[in-house]
Amino acid sequence: MNYKFKTKPYAHQMTALEKSWNKESYAYFMEMGTGKTKVLIDNLAMLYDKGKVNGALIIAPKGVIGTWYNNELPTHLPEHIANVTILWQSNITKKQKEKLETLFEVEESLHILIMNVEALSTDKGMDFAKKFLSCHETMVAIDESTTIKTPTAKRTKNILKLGESAKYRRIMTGSPVTKNPLDLFTQCDFLSPWLLNFTSYYAFRNRYAEMKTLHMHGRQIQVVNGFNFSDSSGKCWYPVTICTDLPPKFAVFITAYLVLNV
């Protein structure tokens, strides 16, 4: 891999990059502390160096977008990559508007837009994100991808639409399942509607979830009562745990609930 790292990767980070860097879609299901943000930034830089992308839309929770802008990108994005990086703000002043417009200047720099996931519930945020994607060959990456686990949420629907315009798609989280395995559907649907062989959340739920009917206050509701993950070939979904080579005080495990695009 002919690429100049700004910060040296650990062996597990190199393995993740070797498997993922040129894939159109990939999930980094890596525990907190294993450096998945660095992996994503190096992946983006590799694609830029190869002329595959010239833009990136990074979607993250409101509490961490500042970390992406102030710490992660300056620390890990190689010096040789000229970039225009803008942090989205909902209150667009004249000065902020001028900054945002630099994302559309015709030049060879890598253009990076960092948006909080909540902004994509709004028409203003969605319209700007669509404009950005229409002007660049773009990677769209979702940090803490369980933020789109609810299929009926407006931001989930909007982000799924944005994913259709992306050349490359990435999701990142240490806990892809927070409630039950149905949490995986929209995360995987963002990557590709073919990963799970279902284009409907409800068809996916009907296949794998065992439902029961509860009678509450004179009405009936359907709730999950269990799961059946065996398929016709007898295979089952199960967690796979991979030990990392981090220093002892940071010793952690990477838990992969699904292995995508191996």
Residue 54 confidence (pLDDT) above 90: yes
* The pLDDT of residue 238: 46
pLDDT tens track for 27-48: 888 888 889 999 999 999 999 9
Crossing angle (nearest 10°) for helices 184-191 and 201-208: 130
Residue 251 has pLDDT above 70, yes or no: no
Other beta carbons within 10 Å of 11: 10
Determine the Cα angle at 160 with ends 155 and 161, to 5°: 100
Give me the chain's average pLDDT, please: 86
Q: For a pLDDT cut of 70, what percent of the chain falls above it?
A: 87
CATH number at 11-197+236-256? 3.40.50.10810
The predicted structure's pLDDT at residue 140: 98
Of residues 123 and 29, more confidently modeled: 123
What is the per-residue pLDDT for 230? Answer: 64
Confidence check: pLDDT of 102 > 80: yes
**d(C-alpha 192, C-alpha 212), whole Å:** 30
Mean pLDDT of the region 165-177: 91
pLDDT by residue (tens digit) across 214-241? 888 888 888 888 877 665 544 545 444 4
- The CATH 3.40.50.10810 portion of the chain extends over 11-197+236-256
pTM value?
Answer: 0.87
- Is the pLDDT at 22 greater than 60? The verdict is yes
